[in-house]
């Protein structure tokens, strides 16, 4: 296996983040693989399987019905929202945009999703909390392009107190 751990920060604001005891953190360990797509190779990055050893509780919902363009996945009465591993499959994706938001009672929000029309994944941290420490942090929506069209996608979101990683 080829394993990788990255650093979650940016040298442009690493010394300015509004934390007391640390300056960034490590990503989850992940396994890297080369995957052949059509006539070329891409790097696949997925959390290591050993994370399953730390799951304390599992809540499974077979189908989620979205009403008025939104639904609540889960609330704090059922689980500790500071440590979650959310996994879901999206099917029958059309040429639309799909946005997911995680928010709290302080009106902080992080959004991520897919823009199928312009072919990119995105994450938006512009409303994620105190941004006053840097005019570079969350200045714009981060985008990652994709080239192949697809109508199904497996999504995994891992939240660990002060971080979110989307796969």
Say if CB 165 and CB 28 are below 8 A apart. Answer: yes
**pLDDT, average across residues 68-88:** 76
| 72 confidence band (pLDDT: 50, 70, 90) | low
Inter-residue contact 35 to 44 (CB < 8 Å): yes
Beta-carbon-side half-sphere exposure of residue 131 (alpha carbons within 13 Å): 15
Confidence (pLDDT) at 86: 87
Q: Is the four-CA dihedral 13, 14, 16, 20 of positive or negative sign?
A: positive
- pLDDT-based confidence at 123, cuts 50/70/90? very high
User: Above pLDDT 90, what percent of the chain?
Assistant: 32
Query: Coil, strand, or helix at residue 100?
Result: strand
94 has a pLDDT exceeding 70: yes
| Pick from 5, 13, 1: nearest CA to 130 | 13
2-4 and 30-37 beta bridge pairing = antiparallel
């Amino acid at each position: 296996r080829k394993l990788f751990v990255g650093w979650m920060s940016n040298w442009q604001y690493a010394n300015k983040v509004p934390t007391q005891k640390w300056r960034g953190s490590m990503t989850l360990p992940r396994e890297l693989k080369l995957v052949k797509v059509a006539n070329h190779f891409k790097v696949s990055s997925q959390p290591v399987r050993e994370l399953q050893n730390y799951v304390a509780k599992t809540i499974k919902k077979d189908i989620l019905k979205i009403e008025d363009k939104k639904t609540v996945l889960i609330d704090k009465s059922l689980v500790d929202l500071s440590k979650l591993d959310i996994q879901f499959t999206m099917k029958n994706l059309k040429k639309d945009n799909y946005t997911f938001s995680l928010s709290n009672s302080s009106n902080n929000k992080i959004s991520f999703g897919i823009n199928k029309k312009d072919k990119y994944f995105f994450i938006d941290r512009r409303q994620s909390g105190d941004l006053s420490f840097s005019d570079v942090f969350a200045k714009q929506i981060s985008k990652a392009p994709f080239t192949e069209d697809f109508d199904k996608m497996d999504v995994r979101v891992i939240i660990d107190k002060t971080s979110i990683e989307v796969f």
